A and B are shown apart, each in its own frame.
Chain A
């Protein structure tokens, strides 16, 4: 039972973090808090994928070499999986882009309605 918890608790932590972000996106009334929830959601997803790269008794995927000759035989068991790192680099780029555009839209909403509360904006007819 204890082994089971130890071998799965990282996934559960990321699911809890992701659900915090999801709840923030749905339930919060302020647009800025919704954007923060979206960012927490993306970060939880990135952490989950990074955790799937881990291998026990392995090190970072940088092979040791000396100038003039290569590293010789490389055993894949000694290095953690590089592919999740690469793909999450792409996900970070997409996350930063969506965050930037979302913040720009939030600024525009504030300029037009002078508030960021969702119910006040829905109640007013705009200017």
Chain B
């Protein structure tokens, strides 16, 4: 089992490293991620939300519904932990 896992890990890792050869350089200001949509958020964050921190304005204003959905994720995880770990009553059906 360990040998098969090691071979799978080697194959997947070398495929991922082959994929990075075409990636933009680290810290490149002209990388596609840095020039396509993010300048709009940085430049308009004060005008549209009056929040100096761009991360805060995106989390709580532009993507507010997404943050609301995150609270649903946390709530579901908490409820499932409670359901899994609650003490069962004696006559509740047993194992």
Interface residues of A, Cβ cutoff 8 Å to B: 6-12, 15-16, 18-19, 22-23, 26-27, 51-58, 61-65, 70-71, 74-77, 79, 81-86, 89-90, 93-94, 96-98, 100-101, 104-105, 107-108, 112, 127
Contact = CB atoms under 8 A, between A and B. Distances in A.
A44 B16 CA distance: 13
B55 A65 contact: no
Grouping DSSP codes into helix (H, G, I), strand (E, B) and loop, the A interface class, with mixed when no group exceeds half, is helix
A81 B46 contact: no
Given A12-B20, A61-B55, A62-B53, A27 B1 contact: yes
A84 B33 contact: yes
Interface string B35-70: 001110111011100101111001100010010001
Contacts of B33: 52-53, 81, 83-84
Interface of B: 1-2, 5-6, 8-9, 12-13, 16-17, 20-21, 23, 25-29, 31, 33-34, 37-39, 41-43, 45-47, 50, 52-55, 58-59, 63, 66, 70, 73-74, 76-78, 80-81, 84-85, 95
A23 B46 CA distance: 45
Grouping DSSP codes into helix (H, G, I), strand (E, B) and loop, the B interface class, with mixed when no group exceeds half, is helix
B9 A22 contact: yes
Nearest to A11: B20
Nearest to A75: B43
B76 A15 contact: no
A83 B84 contact: no
A51 B26 CA distance: 7
Contacts of B42: 61, 63, 74, 76, 79, 82
